[in-house]
């Protein structure tokens, strides 16, 4: 396998990045990635913004610090504490237990975690896979920008902060983003992309953000630096944002989000993204609440890419249809229970063969101690963990 840098910088790009960094007054630092050099400027801007948006006290020198004393921020902090408590005390312990017992072994350890159709959901990915060096998220929503303190005027905090935290209510309460809400919230009306929700999820999960950069994939799948446009800029092919993060345990990782349309009409002309995914080696792939897009013929290219590149797939029934996983080279463990898709919207995606598999393997099906995916809390959740046979 050819050696490919996770963040590859040309000399011109490096000079450009250095100039941008100098304007911010931040020194560029080199962090090591298992697949090569990752150049992300070190700095506190993203971490300062994350803690402010997450309702957590910032460092004394944070440019957001003065706003922490406002009634609007205090109310924001209180509301986020109340929003997170059911997750921290309810779903999270079961998810961590599941990850420790079920998501381990040679098909998981040391591999890149890839989350297609992720939206801004860094929370589920990091809860299931807390100790990996590289995370890749990919979805249609634009990457957005890390906000500055200058963008928040104290007299507007009472309106803006609740709107930003509202982008995460469905994820925290239901375990998934609602598509209609994302269309309204993450594409310029509330925030300009996934950056701000991801910042909140990282901070509330105990992560420290060591630096960030705006990136774009070239046609060869190399990651190049990108100068971001203004807020509410148009969607761009394979544009993204990368963060260097440090877990509560001190583990340092890189989390990259790439924005693109994953349907066949767009993927057939997108050479950079498949090349980029191929450069990551065998991945651990996560699929959840995908609106059953991988069941459609118009998403065949991304489905084939997932099946080709994954060493392990953890998904609910909205992921890869069961018929693709029911035979070699996959060995699948079933969890929870499955009868049919929840609600009226996806009834036509019912899988009789998956229901039969749950019935036939009833004695081997393992329980889920948490709710996840569509219908969470109203019907029994389901997961399938498929491992590629060696």
Residue 313 pLDDT exceeds 50: yes
Residue 234 pLDDT exceeds 70: no
Residue 344 pLDDT exceeds 90: no
At residue 209, the pLDDT reads 98
At residue 345, the pLDDT reads 86
Q: Which of 69-78, 297-306, 370-379 has the lowest mean pLDDT?
A: 370-379
State mean pLDDT over 181-210: 80
Assess if residue 94 is contained within a domain: no
Assess if residue 306 is contained within a domain: yes
Q: Which residue has the higher pLDDT, 72 or 189?
A: 72
- Which tens digit of pLDDT belongs to each residue from 284-294? 999 999 999 99
Assess if residue 273 is contained within a domain: yes
Assess if residue 4 is contained within a domain: no
- Percent of the chain with pLDDT strictly greater than 70: 84
Q: Which residue has the higher pLDDT, 263 or 168?
A: 263
Task: Write out the residue range of the structural domain in which residue 44 sits.
Answer: 11-85+112-284+291-311
Assess if residue 129 is contained within a domain: yes
Residue 31 pLDDT exceeds 50: no
- Which tens digit of pLDDT belongs to each residue from 114-170? 999 999 999 999 999 998 999 999 999 999 999 999 988 766 888 888 888 877 877
At residue 109, the pLDDT reads 93
Confidence class of residue 1 from pLDDT cuts 50, 70 and 90? very low
At residue 17, the pLDDT reads 40
At residue 155, the pLDDT reads 65
Assess if residue 382 is contained within a domain: no
Assess if residue 40 is contained within a domain: yes
Q: Which residue has the higher pLDDT, 257 or 235?
A: 257
- Say how many C-beta atoms besides its own lie within 10 A of residue 380's C-beta: 15
pTM of this prediction exceeds 0.75? yes
Assess if residue 241 is contained within a domain: yes
Q: Which of 110-114, 173-177, 180-184, 240-244 has the lowest mean pLDDT?
A: 180-184
Q: Total structural domains in the chain?
A: 1
At residue 121, the pLDDT reads 93
Residue 319 pLDDT exceeds 90: yes
State mean pLDDT over 32-55: 78
């Amino acid at each position: 396998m050819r050696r490919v840098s996770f963040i590859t910088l040309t000399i011109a790009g490096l000079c450009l990045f250095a100039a941008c960094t100098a304007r911010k007054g931040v020194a560029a630092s080199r962090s090591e990635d298992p697949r090569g050099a990752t150049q992300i400027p070190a700095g506190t801007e993203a971490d300062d913004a994350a803690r402010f948006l997450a309702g957590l006290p910032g460092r004394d020198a944070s440019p957001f610090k003065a706003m922490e004393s406002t009634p609007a921020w205090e109310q924001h902090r209180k509301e986020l504490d109340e929003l997170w408590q059911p997750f921290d005390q309810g779903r999270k312990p079961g998810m961590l237990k599941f990850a420790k017992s079920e998501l381990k072994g040679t098909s998981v350890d040391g591999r890149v975690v890839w989350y297609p159709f992720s939206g801004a959901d860094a929370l589920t990915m990091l809860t299931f896979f807390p100790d990996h060096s590289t995370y890749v998220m990919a979805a249609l929503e634009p990457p957005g920008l890390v906000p500055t303190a200058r963008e928040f005027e104290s007299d507007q905090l009472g309106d803006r902060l609740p709107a930003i935290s509202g982008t995460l209510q469905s994820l925290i309460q239901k375990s998934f983003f609602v598509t209609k809400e994302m269309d309204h919230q993450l594409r310029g009306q509330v925030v300009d992309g996934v950056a701000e929700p991801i910042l909140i999820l990282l901070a509330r999960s105990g992560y420290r953000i060591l630096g960030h950069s705006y990136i774009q994939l070239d046609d060869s799948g190399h990651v190049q630096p990108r100068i971001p446009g203004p807020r509410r800029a148009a969607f761009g092919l394979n544009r993204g944002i990368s963060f260097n993060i440090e877990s509560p345990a001190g583990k340092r990782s890189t989390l990259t989000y790439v924005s693109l349309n994953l349907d066949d009409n767009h993927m057939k002309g997108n050479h950079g993204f498949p090349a980029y995914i191929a450069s990551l080696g065998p991945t651990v792939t996560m699929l959840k609440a995908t609106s059953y897009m991988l069941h459609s013929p118009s998403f065949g290219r991304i489905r084939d890419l997932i099946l080709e590149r994954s060493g392990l797939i953890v998904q609910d029934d909205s992921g890869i249809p069961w018929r693709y996983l029911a035979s070699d080279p996959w060995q699948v463990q079933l969890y929870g229970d499955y009868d049919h898709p929840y609600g009226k919207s996806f009834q036509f995606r019912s899988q009789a063969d998956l229901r039969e598999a749950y019935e036939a393997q009833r004695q081997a099906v393992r329980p889920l101690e948490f709710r996840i995916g569509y219908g969470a809390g109203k019907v029994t959740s389901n997961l399938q963990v498929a491992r590629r046979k060696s």
